[in-house]
Amino acid sequence: MSKSKLTITPVQACSAAPLARQPLSPGDAAQLASAFKALADPVRLRLLSSIASRTGQEACVCDVSDGFDISQPTISHHLKVLREAGLLISERRASWVYYRVVPEALQRLSDVLLIESGAGVSA
């Protein structure tokens, strides 16, 4: 039996491309992930859209409940998740709770997506 000699070609070291901008910090990533996670549920996305579609981007919980085949407590839970993620604020008026979109929060999500896609980076 003959033994053949195996030739190993050295691999060049990886050279990292220089940063064009700072990546997300751990804190920013956690905050954004919370908002994206809240929006990942179709019911919550529809609720946010329903509120954002109204004049003043505000609606009473009774207004947004129409069209959903889920209980009012479940709707309230989903609205709470959106509120805790910083996408909505709420205000009690008499016996009703009104929810309003936080435009700055939605703009932040939009900006991050544009930047990460490269569309928000100018050469």
Total-model pTM: 0.77
Q: Model confidence over 47-90: pLDDT tens digits? A: 999 999 999 899 998 888 888 999 989 999 999 999 999 999 99
Side chain identity, residue 108: R
In a 3-state reduction of DSSP, which class is residue 89?
A: strand
What region, left, alpha or beta, does residue 68 occupy, with left being phi > 0 and alpha being psi -120 to 50 degrees? beta
End-to-end CA distance of the chain: 61
Distance of CA 10 to the CA centre of its chain: 43
Q: How confident is the model at residue 123 (pLDDT cuts 50, 70, 90)?
A: very low
Structural domains of the chain in order of their starting residue, each with its CATH number? 27-117 (1.10.10.10)
Structure tokens at 89: 């604020």
- Is residue 79 within 8 A of residue 90, CB to CB? The reply is yes
Confidence label for 98 from pLDDT (cuts 50, 70 and 90):
very high
Beta carbons of 95 and 60 less than 8 angstroms apart: no
Cα Rg of the chain, angstroms? 24
